């Protein structure tokens, strides 16, 4: 008696084709998602025409600037006025909690504070009053350098600002980002008896995801 042949089933040969079809379907699905996201971003860009806001230091008022020779500590209180301009016609800017501002002289912090939370509407100019105060160690060498800068009428200051913001496109809110700004100022004096004049200012900034 001859050997019986083992039958072959066609469905076993179709398994590879089914996997390929499933993989192709997943790729098409993800492609459609990416295409939809790209179309949404493009729509927001052309519909709202976003423009970057601008910030500048417009004024500074010093209420305390005292050096204690007993413990080499500097006590500082000041209010900085920051002019914020939102040039966008349809975009609002929300300033969230978690901001920080620091004023330093030659790398040594003088005082710190935070930006008030607010929502700046479209085509709006807002002057934010940032109150800052500090109590920091200040060596005799820095004190002498500061006194010399005061005599010359050129006191260099570095102001660092870090604030979480959120752009609002009507009812649609984008994820929060963090805006970092470094302002290098030169003022004529830090005396509470005299209103300081901002003689020069340069600004640098960057944005990072929160």
Predicted pLDDT at 52: 79
201: which 2 tokens? 């200012």
Q: What pLDDT, on a 0 to 100 scale, did the predictor assign at position 162?
A: 94
In which residue ranges of the chain is pLDDT below 70? 1-48
- From start to end of the chain, where are the E strands? 54-68, 73-86, 91-95, 100-105, 108-113, 118-120, 124-137, 155-169, 172-173, 177-187, 198-209
pLDDT for the residue 21: 56
pLDDT of residue 183: 94
Q: Which of 116, 111, 120 is nearest to 91 (CA)?
A: 120
Distances in whole angstroms, Cα of residue 98 to Cα of each of 42, 77, 78, 95, 103: 31, 21, 20, 9, 17
Closest Cα partner for 125 from 160, 81, 171? 81
């Amino acid at each position: 008696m001859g050997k019986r042949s083992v039958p072959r089933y066609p469905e076993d040969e179709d398994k590879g084709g089914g996997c390929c079809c499933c993989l192709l379907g997943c790729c098409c699905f993800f492609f459609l998602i990416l295409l939809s996201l790209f179309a949404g971003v493009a729509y927001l860009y052309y519909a709202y025409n976003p423009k970057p806001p601008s910030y500048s230091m417009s004024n500074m008022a010093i209420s305390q600037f005292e050096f204690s020779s007993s413990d080499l500590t500097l006590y500082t209180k000041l209010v900085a006025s920051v002019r914020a301009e939102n040039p966008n016609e349809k975009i609002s800017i929300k300033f969230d909690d978690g901001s920080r501002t620091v004023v330093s002289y030659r790398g040594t912090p003088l005082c710190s504070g935070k930006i008030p939370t607010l929502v700046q509407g479209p085509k709006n100019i807002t002057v934010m009053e940032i109150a800052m105060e500090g109590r920091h160690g200040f060596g005799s060498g820095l004190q002498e350098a500061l006194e010399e800068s005061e005599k010359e009428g050129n006191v260099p200051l570095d102001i660092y600002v870090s604030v979480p913001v959120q752009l609002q496109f009507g009812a649609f809110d984008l994820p929060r980002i963090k805006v970092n700004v470094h302002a290098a100022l030169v003022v004529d004096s830090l005396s509470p008896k005299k209103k300081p004049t901002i003689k020069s200012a340069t600004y640098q900034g960057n944005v990072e995801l929160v």
